[in-house]
Structure formats: C-alpha cells, structure tokens
Chains A and B, each alone.
Chain A
C-alpha cells in the first residue's frame, strides 16, 4: 500500500516535472572503508550464506569488495554453533544449515579484531496463493510494448504482525528493486499486491515479456529486517531532494552496515502469456 502510494506519487510528480537529465562530474568525499555484513538463513538447504565486504569509493568499480579471513558462526537457541566456511572471497556458507520456524538464531562475525553480532527469529511461512500478471495502465516499456507487473495473492494471518519481502526473477534474472509489503493496512485480509518496480536504467532484460518465465519468492521477514530494507530503499539513489539520505537501520551490532535475516521462503512461477 504505502509503496504503491509512493510509487504513484513519484510517477505523477516526475511526469509533471519532466526535466532534462545529465551525468555530471561531482567531487565526492572518500572515506575509510566500512564493513558490510549481509547474513541470510532460510528454511531451505543452501540458504545459509553470509557476505562480508567493505565499502568502496564512489569512483571505484561496482565489483563486490569481498573480505576474506573472517570467522563466522551462526548459533541456534539451543546453543548449537554452526561454522560457515569461505566459498569465495567474502562469501561464507554452511550448505547444510536450515532454520526452523519459531527459533532465534545468532550471527557472529569476527574479522581483523572486530566483532559484529546479530540475532533474528524465523517467522512461520505465509502461503503464496497465486501470482498473476497485470498490464500497467500508465507506462509502457521503453520499446513501446505493454509493461506488465506481477500481482501476488496471499492471505495475511490476523493474529500476528507480518512483514514480507518479494524477489522477482525474470528468466532467472534477479530484479534489483526491493519489493516489500506489510499488514499495517491489510491485517487478516485476502491481499493482492502489485509488485511495482522502476526500470530506471531501461534494461530490456528487466521487463516482463511474452514467453518469459517469472518466479516470485516470498519471504516472511522479521520487523527489524523490514525496517532495514524500507530505510535502504529510502536512500537508495542518494537523492537529496527527498529527506536527507542516511544509512539504513541495521539489526547488526558492532558498527557494520548490512543486516541479518532469518526467514522462510515460498515461491511460485508463471510463464508470461
């Protein structure tokens, strides 16, 4: 809901303020590298993965700046500790560890004398009842073909506060946009939410076209993780014209950027007609 409003108002005002864009040379400050922890544990095998990296200067390339040599563990609430091992630079995994609903997991990252910790509970999965495509009435794709978005349908449980994150794959290409929903306005309801994304770099591979295979992953995430992603999108493009951008609200202690999310995953696939 709130994302819909935000999306629509941005589109409206952008149309009204149609303007000219130009890439410019801007002298930006450099800063000492900061650690970024991206910890994920799901209810599926192979879903345990922690990425450890550092920030780079704006003028550097976009390659993942992985940090090797860290000691990373995840512990459950029965004091079982599971180590993660490096599979490539900055990527740490435990291929067998799966989370269980209702349990709280703790992350511990030690690197170069620093320790980052976090904990997160796994909420029960909310079933994804169906997904379907709806044509956008306002915009077309860059090439003039109709733009289509996925609508997800699920039944929100009334007794709990629920937070959702969706990830969209088009022909196995992961959509960059962060797609969130919560039940603040829809508690206990049959919900149909359209997953709007803004193809801001006009990449045709992001559009949904006839014959494309579209997969939606639905994650039931913790409130702290929802807040992280919500605030991450707010500052995503550094547009100072909106409220002053700031670093997202992390659930990691010890002074790193990033998040630790323990969540369930359900998914559905369709082929675009």
Chain B
C-alpha cells in the first residue's frame, strides 16, 4: 500500500530547503506542484475522508487513512519508525485539513507528490515547539541491528538541547527531557549514526537498533567514541574504553589479538615486561588490578607465562579500564579495574568465525536460540605449539607438553520487556609438562548468572551471582618419588547494582556486593621415600562485603559532579589458627578460631569524588579523588609473576592496603573532533604495602606473616595522549612521566626506594594506515626506561665461590626497552556470506635485544673474572594468521 521512497530523497529535499535560494526554488517547485494539483479536479488533499484514529503510531495511522481514503503516502524511515502517536476523528473532512490538524503538534509536514502525499520530517518545527508542561523519560535498550548485541556506551544526544546520556553496560539508557518534541542523535563506535525524532507526552520506551557501519569501521578503527564524545562532560577520569575492533589492526606477538597487550600502549598502563602477563597501572603492582570478565574476578589473566592473555578477543565485546579513579561500584583493588564484557551472541542469525595462526587456532560460533530474543555464543581457542615438540628428536622434548586452551560460553534470554537473563562462563587451562618428570597446570574458571530488570523507565537493576576459581597443580616425579602441590582461591559472589535516573540532573547508582573467599594456600602430597609428610596448610576464609551509593549531578550545562561513598567490610572467618608475630618474624603466640568465628573485621570508608567543568564544546577540565582498599594480596617472590604466586587475604597481622589518589586532567578535541588531546596528572599515596623479608622462605608451612614486612608507598606522574581518530591514517602517541616508590620497615635501611615498576619515561606510538580497500598497514613503537633493579656493587668469596655484594634496593636500572612492531592485514574475500583476511605481523622488527633478565656469573672461559649476562626472549618474531567469518 505504501510507497517507501529511498532515504536519499528526503535528504535531498532537506538539502534543497537549506539555503534561501534553494528554499525559494523548492517552494516554487512545490507551488507548481500544488498549482498543478489544484488544476486537477480533485487533488489528494481535497479528497474527503472518514476515519477514527485513537493515539496510534504515525505509520499505523497513515495506513488507516490510506485504507479509508485510497490516498497513498510516501515517507522515509524516520517517519516509518517515528514514535509519534496521533489521534484523528474525521467525518467527511478533506484530507488536507485532517493531516494539518493531526500533525500540528509534531515535527512533520506534508506535501503532495503526484497523486500521493509526501510526509516528511520537519526539523524546523521542533524548534518552534513551545515546551509543554512537565518532564518525561525516554528509555530503552540500544542494540546492533545485525547481531542483536546490546551496545555499551552508545551516545544518545538531544540535538536541540545540551542534554544527553550513554547506554550502560547492558545497553540500557534513560533520559529525562521536557515534554514536547525532540530529536535524538544516537551514535556508537562502528555503527551508523541515526537521528530519531520523538514526541514526549508521557514516559516513552524506545529500543533502538543501530546498523553496523563496516566501511567506517575500517577507517576509524581507533576511534574511542563517536566524534566529540570522549565524555568531555563526564567527571569520570583515568578511564580508557576500547571496543574489540580497535585492537584488530594493532600488531602483536605471534599474531594473537590481545586486549591486555593493547591497553599497555595507553598512557599510565605499563607492560610488566616480556614473559609476564601482568601490567602496572600508575606505579601499582600487578596484583592491584582488578580484572573482571562479565563481572567475575579473574585471578590470573595470563596464559603461557604471560605471552597471551586469558581474553579470547573473538568472545569480547568491549572493555573499560579505570586507572585508580574507580566509580563507587568497583572496589577491592588499589590501582585499576579492567572490566571486560563478553559478547552476548548474535540473536539474528547463526554465524561462525575463526582464525588459524602459527601457534594457535580459534573458533567462534554464535546464533539465536529464539530469533531476536535469545542467543548463545561459544568461543574456543587452543595453542598447538606442542605439536611441533612431537617432531623433536629429543625424547624428553617429544613427550613434553606446552599448551593452553580456553573456552567462553554465554547465553542470554529475554524474559519480557523488562527482564533479561544472562549466563556466561569461562574455562581456561595452561599445561606445561616435561615428559613424565614434572608438570604444572593452572587455570581460571568463572561463571556468572545475571538478571537485568527494568523496574520502570528510570530504575534499572542488575543482579549477579558469580563464581570464580583459580588453582594450580604442580607435579614432580623424581626417581621413586612423586610430589603434588595444589593451591586454590575460590569466590562465591553476590552483586546487586541499581541505576536510578532520577530526573534530568541526577543519576544515582547504588548497590551491594558480598563475596565469600576460600583460599587453600597449599596442599602437598608425596609418595615414595623422600620422607616428606603429606600435609595441607589451613584454609583461609573471608567474607568481603560492600555497599555503595554515588550520584552524578549535572549542576549546570557546564559543570558536572559525581560524589559517592563505598563502605567495605572485610571479615576474616575461622576456622583456623591466627598468630602473633614479633618484629623478627618469630611466632610468639597463637589463637584458634572455630568454624565461622570472626577473627577480625576491617571496615573502610572509601569516598570517591569527581568533577568536570566543560570549558567549551571541545574542551574540559576534570579533577577527582578516590580511596580504595584492598584485602587480597598477591605475595610474589618473582617480579615477572609466576602461576604459583600466593594469593593471601588480610589477617590479624596483614592489614588492608589503602590508596588515596588525587588527579586532575585537561581534555581537548580539535580539528572538528578528528584529534583528541588529553593530559592527566595524579598523586597516589599507598598504605600497608607488603614485601617479603630479605631471605624470605617462599616454600614454608609457617604462617606467611613470618616472611613479610610492611610499609608505605607513593606514586605520581603525568600522562599525555594525542589521538588521531579519523582518516586513512589514524593512531596515537602516548607518553607517561612517572615515579613510584616504597618505604618498607626493614628494607633498604628503612629509606624510600624505587618500586620495581618505577619507570621514568614510557612512550608508545601506534599508527594504522588504510592503503586501500584490501590493505591496511600498522606499526607500533614502544620505548620505556628500564625497570628499577638491584645490581651488585661488589663481590666476595664464600667457601671458594664468588658471591655478590648489594647496597641500595632498586637503585640500578635495566637497559631501556624499545621495540618496533609492524603489521599488515589483507582483506581476501568479502561477500555478504563470507569474509576472510590474512594478518601478517613482525614483532620487534629491528631485532633490538631487549633484556628479559640480567644475571652475573664467573666468566665461562676465564673463571678468574665475572661477567654480566643478558638474556633476550624475542627478536624478529614473524607471524601470519588467517581469519574467516561466515
């Protein structure tokens, strides 16, 4: 019945009507048409119509008029999708009068086009609208049209007012506006921006589907947010958003895309070095980062000793990292929160994608369970480097194993307009085995059950039940002996988060969180004749509770303030023995606690305040303060991190670590939002920092407190980021100038010393160039000051063997680290049904021999001398990966 004219037509008309001359011409043309129609005996607008329409959507109403009058309408999608509802009660009235009356309060106008009536969106009418009484809320979910995936962080702006919001981590948004007509502009990374007229005369539920913009995606790969939308107005500081597409073209080691490697190219986030999966944020240690996968804490986020992260990029939708200025809903770690969200799975159609690289293969399958309502996703990855070991002639190598696998699964179900359920899980395992002689395996398991509930247009709730587990098993066979060591940390976690969009000025978040931790520090079983008695250290139990409330208050168009409070209570529970320990680490007393008995509770009030002052449309100033408390500590005897590092909860002796961070920042977009410049500076004060005593015994069945010392820390720095977000050439330059120090009683004569991760300079340059539709090239360069380490200041003989003399802790430096990586992606085949590409990368392109470690020994050829020896892990590592999707 209707005739849908292509969208370009209305755009053409809009374009024509923009300038006065064109307007005049347009009017003239319209007049001609009108005249022409008047010349006819009866134009469509003159035709009388009898129809009753009671508050029905525009499109539906037009269809009814057509049915009643035989007059056809022409309109574009904006009209078809409009949520405007009209009412008509006409008896034998001319259609022109009927339409004029019905559309009067709405941003639409009509003209005659041949024998049809063109209904078009009339932006001019919006401005003329006199605001009706009251305020109403428009809310809903933003999704991708193609996949049905909810879109996180989509921007919803009102074009005719300084108002807007962004979708939350479940794609939900809520925006309170004065009654009347408005035009919304909805945009998101990699999606076509759409304009959506709305008419508010009551609360409105509006779900929006955005179309993928695959072409744009290629060109604007690193665009962190839609142009101009680096939340200049939001007080949130120290945050970096990355969607998974942004990592696509960045060259990485062995061609495995990796979100954790990518964030290390951003200012303030530093690699813990090659061969390490950890990262340092603003001078903090690797255990001070809270890593969440669908809200479940991941205790060891690295595979294969850190060469890969546990996040299979095929299954990841989006990630945010907060560098210490965490919103109040996060807590429990001092330095950062890395919040990773998995894809929900395509609920429109079934699809498979995957990739085959030099050492790993991945496969991802997703599809609807019920089209448009529910979906699933399964994503798996395994390395096959060990397949090459089987070819080895060496019998030990032949029987050795070295691999990891991981599996992400997720399903979601829409229960109705207001409820949605998600189930997701992650299972990963690393296996490192030398024939039958020794092996270690370690891995994480997480499971999350979530329930989104929309109470009303302003109140959104998410309830989560979460399980996390990390464990490792070490197996050693030696002669007739076999040893097994097992250690585990396991959490049961309940979370309730509410978001209340309380009017147009306030957004309040509040919630509670309760985690029950069980830590099994170590279980040793031995068989054979070694004399080792099988035993296990006492389990540790703790309940970590928190409640928070925070409000974002849009005080004026320019000034926004977020203020909140998190109250955390960490209760150590029995059963178990807890000790008193003297200054030298000797046990001087102990007390036994029965199961469930409270040993101690640490209560911390953690205020979080942040303010943003928008200087103008393209620049803003922000400042924030946050306190964080941490009750789980990773006690590591190695700086590079090992799967066997110990997670320890606070005890009567180990106190919660506390950090206070103050930061200020300046943000500017320029050249029409093509470039973005940010500078942030911070000062962080740390309390109750933990380190091993000198000569600590790592493998002991004594209480761990006997091996530890405590002190404080401070870290400060400035971070600069210049980003080019659009064009054939895109990328960024990041520079960090920083300092991080510790002062621990009993170390370095109780003087301040550099933290291992203290790096004065850290530079990263990332560039991507889209040469043609087929080829994309990329390069990144990193340079940073070598880690602070302790080198010998002399040597001496003990029992005829050379040993080294040390003076100040961490007063020396590893050589500066620098490296260039190159990458290229060739699009092979691209049809609607199938696409594939080849990715090439070259890691450390000029083969700089970066020091993984430096150690000292007697010279191999001249034993009367000592020498420093540098070991290097990677120089020139090429890779090629084939990716496909259908």
A22 in contact with B804 given A1-B530, A11-B434, A240-B790 (CB within 8 Å): no
- In contact, A62 and B870 (Cβ under 8 angstroms): no
Q: Which of B275, B483, B528, B697 makes the CB contact (< 8 A) with A230?
A: B697
**Which residues of B lie under 8 Å from residue A193 when comparing CB positions?**
530-531
Whether B871 contacts A31 by the Cβ 8 Å rule is no
Taking a contact as CB atoms under 8 Å apart, the answer to whether B700 and A2 are in contact is yes
- B115 adjacent to chain A (CB < 8 Å): no
Give the Cβ gap from A8 to chain B, nearest Cβ, in Å. 5
Inter-chain contacts of A12 with B (CB < 8 A): 432, 434, 438-440
Shortest CB–CB separation between residue B810 and chain A, in angstroms? 6
Q: Is A9 an interface residue (CB 8 A)?
A: yes
Instruction: Name the A residues within 8 Å of B868 (CB-CB).
Output: 23-26, 28
Q: What chain B residues lie within 8 Å of A19 (beta carbons)?
A: 852, 871-873
Knowing A53-B796, A237-B856 are in contact, say whether A2-B805 is a contact too (CB < 8 A).
no
Contact check, B855 vs A237: say whether CB atoms are below 8 A apart: yes
Q: Check B838 for interface membership: any CB of A closer than 8 A.
A: no
Q: Which of A79-87, A207-215, A242-250 contacts B (4 or more CB under 8 A)?
A: A242-250
Contact of A190 with B865 in the complex, beta carbons under 8 Å: no
B695 CB-CB contact with A under 8 Å: yes
Task: Select which of B275, B695, B795, B805 is within 8 A of A17 by beta carbon.
Answer: B275
A202 at the interface (CB under 8 A from B): yes
Q: A4-B476, A242-B638 are in contact. Are A62 and B695 (CB under 8 A)?
A: no
B418 at the A/B interface (Cβ < 8 Å)?
no
User: Which bucket holds chain A's interface residue count?
Assistant: 35 or more
Whether, in the assembled complex, A69 has its beta carbon less than 8 Å from a beta carbon of chain B, the answer is: no
Minimum C-beta distance from B342 to chain A (A)? 29
Mask of A1-33 contacts with B, CB within 8 angstroms, 1/0:
110111011011101110111111110111101
CA distance A176 to B807 in the complex (A): 24
Asked if B437 is at the interface of the complex by the 8 Å CB criterion, the answer is yes
Asked whether, in the complex, the Cβ of B807 is within 8 Å of the Cβ of A184, the reply is no
Question: B699 contacts A1, CB within 8 Å?
Answer: yes
Knowing A56-B795, A58-B795, the reply to whether A235 touches B864 (Cβ < 8 A) is: no
Asked if A8 contacts B791 (CB within 8 A), the reply is no
Q: Which of B220-228, B454-462, B639-647, B733-741 contacts A (4 or more CB under 8 A)?
A: B639-647
Judge whether B695 and A30 touch: CB under 8 Å: no
Quick check: A241 and B807 within 8 Å, CB to CB? Answer: no
How many angstroms between the C-alpha atoms of A34 and B803 in the bound complex?
13
Asked if residues A192 and B437 are in contact (CB atoms below 8 Å), the reply is: no
Q: Which residues of A contact B530 (CB under 8 A)?
A: 1, 186, 191-193
Known: A4-B483, A138-B438, A241-B639. A202 touches B796 (CB 8 A): no
Which of A22, A190, A243 sits near B638, CB closer than 8 Å? A243
The one of A26, A28, A62, A186 in contact with B858, judged by C-beta atoms closer than 8 angstroms, is A62
> Which one, B402, B790, B794, contacts A57 given CB within 8 A?
B794
- Asked if A189 is at the interface (CB within 8 A of a chain B CB), the reply is yes
Contacting residues, chain B, for A202 (C-beta < 8 A): 860
Complex-state Cα separation, A192 to B857, whole angstroms: 31
Q: Is A114 close to B, CB under 8 A?
A: no
Cβ–Cβ contact A240 & B814, under 8 A: yes
Any A CB within 8 A of the CB of B63? no
The residue in chain B whose Cβ has the minimal distance to the Cβ of A234 is B695
A1-B530, A21-B871 given as contacts; is B857 within 8 A of A200 (CB)?
yes
> Which residues of the other chain, A, contact B528 by a CB distance below 8 angstroms?
192
Closest Cβ–Cβ distance, residue B747 to chain A (whole Å): 8
Within the complex, what minimum Cβ distance (angstroms) separates B674 from chain A? 43
**Bound-complex Cα distance A58 to B859 (A):** 12
Residue of B nearest to A189 (CB): B531
Q: Known interface pairs A19-B871, A185-B533, A247-B694. Does A174 touch B800 (Cβ–Cβ under 8 Å)?
A: yes
**Contact between A244 and B864, CB atoms less than 8 A apart:** no
Q: Does B854 sit at the interface, judged by CB under 8 A? A: yes
* A241-B638 in contact given A34-B805, A62-B863 (Cβ < 8 Å): yes
B residues 478-521 with Cβ under 8 Å of A?
Answer: 478-479, 481, 483, 485
Return B271 CB to nearest CB of chain A, in Å.
15
Given contacts A185-B524, A190-B531, contact A65 B794 (CB under 8 A): no
CB-CB < 8 A to A6: which residues of B? Answer: 698-699
Q: Is the CB of A54 within 8 A of B432?
A: no
Q: Which residues of B contact A61 (CB under 8 A)?
A: 864-865
Which residues does chain A contribute within 8 Å of B858, judged by CB atoms?
62, 201
Confirm or deny: B801 has a beta carbon within 8 angstroms of a beta carbon on chain A: yes
The answer for the CA separation of A238 and B866 in the assembled complex, in Å, is: 12
A21 to B806, CA, bound (A): 23
Please measure, in the bound complex, the distance between the C-alpha atom of A21 and the C-alpha atom of B478, giving whole angstroms. 29
Contact with B along A35-62 (1 / 0, CB 8 A): 0101000000000000101111110111
CB of B789 within 8 Å of the partner chain? yes
Cβ–Cβ < 8 Å partners of A58 in chain B: 792-795, 804, 856, 866
Minimum Cβ distance to chain A for residue B528 (Å): 8
Contact of A31 among B532, B793, B800, B866 (CB under 8 A): B793
Chain A residue with Cβ nearest B808: A29
Q: Are B529 and A192 in contact (CB under 8 A)?
A: yes
Task: Choose from B438, B524, B791, B873 the contact partner of A238 (Cβ within 8 Å).
Answer: B791
A232 on the interface (CB 8 Å rule)? yes
Complex interface: chain B residues within 8 A of A259 (CB): 798
- Do A246 and B793 have beta carbons less than 8 Å apart? no
Asked if A21 contacts B804 (CB within 8 A), the reply is no
CB contacts (< 8 Å) of A237 on chain B: these are 855-857
Closest approach, in angstroms, between the C-beta of A195 and any C-beta of chain B?
12
Query: B292 interface residue, CB < 8 Å from A?
Result: no
- Residues of A near B696 (CB, < 8 A) are 243
Q: Least Cβ distance of A119 to chain B in Å?
A: 17
- Enumerate chain A residues within 8 angstroms of B773, measured Cβ to Cβ: none
- Expressed in whole angstroms, the Cα–Cα distance for A243 and B639 within the complex equals 6
Q: Is the CB of A9 within 8 A of B639?
A: no
A16-B432, A17-B275 known; A55+B695 contact, CB < 8 A: no
Chain B residues whose CB sits within 8 angstroms of the CB of A36 once the complex forms: 796-798
Determine the chain B residues whose CB is within 8 A of the CB of A4 once the complex forms: 476, 478, 483
CB contacts under 8 Å to B, within A149-202, are 151, 156, 174, 176, 184-187, 189-194, 200-202
- Given contacts A21-B869, A245-B790, whether A31 and B807 have CB atoms under 8 Å apart is yes
CB pair A16 B869 closer than 8 Å: no
B581 cross-chain contacts in A, Cβ below 8 A: none
Say yes or no: A239 contacts B853, CB within 8 Å. yes
Question: For the complex, what is the distance from the CA of A100 to the CA of B853, rounded to whole Å?
Answer: 46
Contacts of A238 in B (CB 8 A): 790-792, 804, 806, 854-856
The answer to whether B396 has its CB under 8 Å from any CB of chain A is: yes
- The docked-state distance in angstroms from the alpha carbon of A184 to that of B702 is 9
Whether the Cβ atoms of A54 and B438 lie closer than 8 Å is no
B699 touches A22 (CB 8 A): no
Q: Are B807 and A29 in contact (CB under 8 A)?
A: yes
Are B437's CB and A30's CB within 8 A? no
Residues of A within 8 A of B437 (CB): 137-138
Considering only residues 833-868 of chain B, those with a C-beta below 8 Å from chain A are: 849, 852-860, 863-868
Whether a CB of chain B sits under 8 angstroms from the CB of A231 is: yes
CB distance from A186 to the nearest CB of B (A): 4
Contact of A5 among B474, B533, B857 (CB under 8 A): B474
B809 contacts A by Cβ under 8 Å: yes
Whether, in the assembled complex, A236 has its beta carbon less than 8 Å from a beta carbon of chain B, the answer is yes
Name the contact of B796 in the complex, choosing from A15, A151, A257 (C-beta under 8 A). Answer: A257
Q: Which of B304, B807, B809, B872 makes the CB contact (< 8 A) with A20?
A: B872
Please indicate the chain A residues that have their CB under 8 angstroms from the CB of B638 in the complex.
241-243
- Counting from the closest, the 5 A-B pairs by CB-CB distance are A231-B695, A189-B531, A240-B789, A2-B699, A191-B531
A–B pairs, 27, beta carbons within 8 Å: A1-B530, A5-B474, A6-B699, A8-B478, A15-B400, A16-B305, A23-B859, A23-B869, A29-B791, A36-B797, A36-B798, A58-B793, A58-B856, A64-B797, A137-B478, A184-B701, A185-B526, A192-B531, A235-B803, A236-B803, A239-B854, A240-B854, A241-B853, A244-B809, A244-B810, A245-B804, A246-B694
11 further interface pairs, Cβ-Cβ under 8 Å (given A29-B811, A242-B638, A249-B694) = A8-B478, A21-B869, A23-B870, A24-B854, A29-B812, A51-B797, A55-B805, A62-B795, A137-B437, A244-B639, A257-B796
